[in-house]
Chains A and B, each alone.
Chain A
Amino acid sequence: MGTPSIAIAAWGLVTGVALVEGGLSTRMALVMTFVVFAGSAQLAVLPLLATGAPLFVVWITATLVNLRFVIFSAASRSFWGELPWKQRLFASYLNGDVGFALFMQRYSNDTERGTPEQHGFFFGCALLNWVSWMGSSVAGILLGGLAPTSWGLELAAVLALVAVLIPMANRAPALLGIVVTGVLGVATVRLPLKIGLLMSIVVGVVVAVVAETHLPRRPSPIEEAAEIAASEGGYGS
């Protein structure tokens, strides 16, 4: 358990610094961290919030970044069927990248699903991850407030997003989607209301899915999602 918690702490620290350097006040960054609890989505929408983009663009972008969680929850649903809805809701809140990856590494081959041991492991890991994430984020937010803006630390947010993106670019269709989205995103940067942003994502995803159907060997998206989740923040390699 030690290694993932350290990786999460490093990741939380960077996110905390980036939130403040990206333009949020210390108090706003603290509120965001405790309310939202989704590092990649928080960093992704930061430039949108800082340029006053409409809220629907902010929410759609975050949802698109969060769509990997839909795969996680579909993959692990059979572990949660029996529990009362309040506990399932609590599990939903906690089901981030690293917790999901650790859980699936341990239990994905089990035929008996939904045992007390599995639930105990999930909540134990998730709470430990939550504590190290929140502690390090708060530290990052407070430290970020101290650094002079001339250091250019707002670049930290972009670098962190690049670190999330690279493990996702593991195969040809993903790379193709990324290149198409990137080119279109730059080409449409003048369109109002960030319409170019949303458009370039849709086209990129369609191109990647179509490219995928032309490949002979297609790994299961669930296995792939677990692999990518495990490399979040550099853990799992």
Chain B
Amino acid sequence: MNGIGSWSHMLLAFAGLALTTVLTRGSFFVLPASIQLPPRIERALRYAPACALTAIIAPDVLTRDRALYFSWHNNELWSVLIAAAVFAKTRNMLVMMVAGMTAFTLLRLYT
């Protein structure tokens, strides 16, 4: 499914993405020094990116056509798990990428 919008829609999307990136990176470079980050907010900021990434990854890998797809035939799931294990062990992104894509290709061709 490709729902990529028109050029104007995408340019608007990109402009908003650029804005949030500069605003978050520069937030405290431009705020007056009297404004501090409360510890509890700091904790929440620390966990938000991990949860946001998970909310993208989990449905992508574990669902198909908006339903749970937990099966031996879910090649994407097994490839991601293999790649995650390789990355946890090596901490090398290129190695994990090759492992994941190789696993996916083998599963696609031989199952």
Contacts and interface: CB of A to CB of B under 8 A. Distances in A.
Interface in A26-45: 28, 31-32, 35-38, 40-42, 44-45
A71 interface: yes
B87 A166 contact: yes
Query: What 6 A-B pairs are tightest by C-beta distance, nearest first?
Result: A92-B26, A52-B3, A204-B51, A182-B58, A64-B52, A237-B91
A73 B2 contact: no
Given A55-B12, A68-B45, A197-B56, A73 B50 contact: no
Contact of A66 (B12, B21, B46): B21
A47 interface: yes
A161 B97 contact: no
A158 interface: yes
9 contacts: A31-B11, A49-B3, A59-B16, A64-B51, A68-B48, A89-B29, A152-B108, A204-B54, A209-B44
B49 A65 contact: yes
A133 interface: no
Contacts, number: 291
Given A59-B17, A62-B20, A70-B24, 6 more contacts: A50-B2, A70-B28, A96-B25, A159-B96, A204-B51, A234-B96
Contact of B101 (A24, A156, A206, A231): A156
A10 B51 contact: no
A50 to B, nearest CB: 6
Contacts of B18: 35-37
B3 to A, nearest CB: 3
Nearest to B16: A59
Nearest to A231: B91
A162 B10 contact: no
Interface residues of B, number: 75
B17 A209 contact: no
A73 B68 CA distance: 39
Contacts of A11: 93
Given A49-B10, A74-B28, A174-B50, A161 B91 contact: no
A41 B93 contact: no
Contact of A36 (B17, B48, B83, B93): B17
Given A59-B20, A95-B25, A65 B97 contact: no
Contacts of A80: 29
B10 A185 contact: no
Interface string B1-45: 111110101111111111011101111111101001100101111
Contacts of A95: 25-26, 29
Given A69-B24, A233-B93, A50 B3 contact: yes
A139 interface: no
